[in-house]
Structure 1
Amino acid sequence: MNTSKQNASILLTGATGFVGQGILKQALLQSIDVCCVSRKAMQMISGTTGNMRNILMPELAPDTDWSAALSGISTVIHCAARVHVMEETSADPLTLFRRVNVAATLNLARQATLAGVRQFIFISSVKVNGEQTTPGQPYTEECSPQPEDAYGISKYEAELALLELGRNTGMAITIIRPPLVYGPGVRANFLSLLQSVRRGIPLPLASIHNQRSFIYLDNLVSLVLCCLDNPKANNQIFLASDGHDLSTTELLQACATALDVPSRLIPFPAKLLSLAASLIGKKSMADRLCQSLQVDISKTKQVLDWVPPYTVAQGLLATVKNIKTS
């Protein structure tokens, strides 16, 4: 029987992050009690009915003592991580990623089992699967993981360690692998693209015929909370997306529609774009714009009886709301 979410008590790490903030707000709106772990003090979200407890923690480390935070907790939702960075400066990034994303994660999970936590929900990444797909051949949960960078490798190693811990202790492990997440407050490359479209900057991206999966923040939050205290989610890996893939050209056109501005895209062969980007040291950026990365969420929908509650158009409208006035 599915335990009522009304009685759930969550430990949420990364509560001030982009995804963590979304989970926190929706959980409190659903009257779920949340213990937030953050580097800085957090304010209660107005209009919510769940109880919020805030524990300050300077860093996520392999030797962190979680005893105070885990008291009375039924489920851990682990969003905190050393995140993927575009311009890595460390000479040994894998060691740094492993310290936070593997060792520190496993330390939390081990202490969670001792504290009687029933479920550990781990926000992983599609980068565990790899960096690109052939159009029409999306990743599934059955695909052999092929992480390429230090971030993806560390997330995969954390998944393996958590699943083994679950088998040995009985704590239910739920792993969610989202692709790029967008929504109000999105930053980095997605924000840069939105700003370029809003300003009417001509972009040579009218001839990109790839297919990429994305997920709107509130869709991801819906999926995470669907897994909460759900026996169907126990010891499962789920891929996540909006369920509607777009080419880079289609994405930019959809962004222009949401922003209510003309789409100023210039036809330019994708192969020449990749070549030009390579010559100026921007090959990785061109790859993300031109290559495909699709995920199949059939298992996620079937096992959990879940569908993304928001369309891409709705997600983009919410995303650009503040950008239009900035």
Structure 2
Amino acid sequence: MDFELSDEQAMLRAASRDLLRDHSPADPALWRLAAGLGWPGLAVPEEYGGTGQGLIELALVAEDVGRSLGPVPFLPTVLVARAVARGGSPRLRKEVLPALAEGTTWASWAFAEPRSPWTLAGVGATARRTDGDTVVLDGVKTTVQDAEGARWLLVTARHDGVPASFIVDRDAPGLSVRRQQVLDLTRTVYEVRLDGVRVSLDRRLDDGPAAVQRLLDDASVLAAADALGVMDHLLEMTVAYMKVRVQFGRPIGSFQAVKHKCASMAMHVHGTRAATAYAAMAADAGSRDAVPAACAAASYASTAAGEVAGDALQLHGGIGFTWEHDLHLYLRRAKTDAVLYGDAAVHRDRLSALIRPEAVPT
């Protein structure tokens, strides 16, 4: 595969970095400005007001969002957009996708559940069909990003015994959200409770377990891209500090042991970049190794994020432990990216199952 960016992709990256460099993450207008650049519409087909881009373009933006610790609802919104574009009815696509493309609202995916793995087997919420064309949703979801201000939630629950996804209005009766206190201070996540939430059956996406798993794979690649941005910035931050921190009359970056640490960080960054780019490109190309590539990228990034953050903290020394320094914010985000949409163990188990040769009958 050709890993060189096209002219359009390079322009997207440059525009995204300029926006995130010029505006503080705390700027309340950041999401509106990002919408002006077309971020929410990247995953929306052109016929619904978007630009119909692929996973590689989404990963480029996700990387820069991670690099800047952007608190915008980019990742959950584009995931819901991809799901609706693939499996929504024409009426549902017409209702949801143009609004998401405009950036006037956003959506989030309610998938994970308390004390359950981030896998299809971990879905315990139920969708029970009543008389007529109504479904009743019950269950508890956790780590739902930006749920409070979302207009829609994509809720994955067991319908007829298998995982399926439904578009649910955020203000639907019986649906409540509670802010969760988490390690990452740059994101807002919520617990979502569904107590007899009634939705029309036509708000179910035409997605079986395979489609839900495909969206999980997309999410894993984008989380790896976010972690890549975090790691890349940590490396830049650390190298810059090593050049000015003096010990024994010389910059500590001149010591061989410190150079080895920085080289190890760079190795993890480059490895994550290669794995993430390949996974995104394989998905866009419809390659048959797209699924194992997504597992490989997610598992590698999950491990590398913790290694790079730990090395950065160690090399910064005392100043890295202070509340005033930005390092702890990147460390927190790296640790969170390492478990979003499944930790390394989840992805390695799945990868092992994918590549394990079938048992030969004896």
TM interval, short-chain normalised: 0.3 to 0.5
Query: Which structure dedicates a bigger proportion of its chain to helix?
Result: 2
TM-score of the two chains, using structure 1 as the length reference: 0.39
Question: Considering only CA atoms, is the larger Rg found in Structure 1 or Structure 2?
Answer: 2
- TM-score, normalised relative to structure 2: 0.36
